[in-house]
Amino acid sequence: MNTKINFAGIEMKNPVTVASGTFGYGREFAQFFDLSKLGAIITKGTSLKPKSGNKPSRVCETASGMLNSIGLQNPGIEYFAQNDLPFLKKFDTAIIVNACGSSIEEYVELCKILNTLEIDGVELNLSCPNVKAGCMAFGNTYEGVKQVTLAVRKVLDKPLIVKLTPNVTDIASIARAVEDGGADRSISN
């Protein structure tokens, strides 16, 4: 059975992938199953510089499941390029890097680097706080989403997926901002 798909310009052998932020960079799961069986791996959020994330306690069990506030802890793009990407390249699966930042300039600089790496696409994480806008998430307004998407699209030739926050009153208008900014696809948490 042929299960190949093209998602936002990314050729995948099947539609099975992992949600960014839930799978790290794949190392922890490689001991349990062959990562090559996945259509794509969407990495944990990766930033321009290393981030230590939020102070513990980061996870809270509730009657309905769990809440977490990791704070985008990650080793940064330089570490990813030198250590995690070579590991992921061992597997026959598409690699999509979740890119996070706290300003448009950070997103642009990060995506300039990602554009030079041997990856299949970028998932722009617009749930990140925008420090220059009083820590309001980029993904909360049409203009914020459009501005960051336009800026990244200018420096990124790879397929661009934009991960949107569901914490808005009109997700359709936010998705239109992604289209107007030139992304290949938008998804919501």
Tokens 């996870």 belong to residue: 59
Q: Cis omega (within 30 of 0) on the bond before 57?
A: yes
Closest among 119, 36, 130, 18 to 77, alpha carbons compared: 119
Q: Is 128 a catalytic residue?
A: yes
Question: What Rg do the C-alpha atoms of the chain give, in angstroms?
Answer: 16
Provide the pairing of β-strand 136-137 with 94-99.
unpaired
Contact partners, residue 14, CB within 8 Å, separation at least 6: 3, 4, 5, 38, 39
Q: Spot the catalytic one: 60, 100, 111, 128.
A: 128
Q: Provide the annotated active-site residues.
A: 128
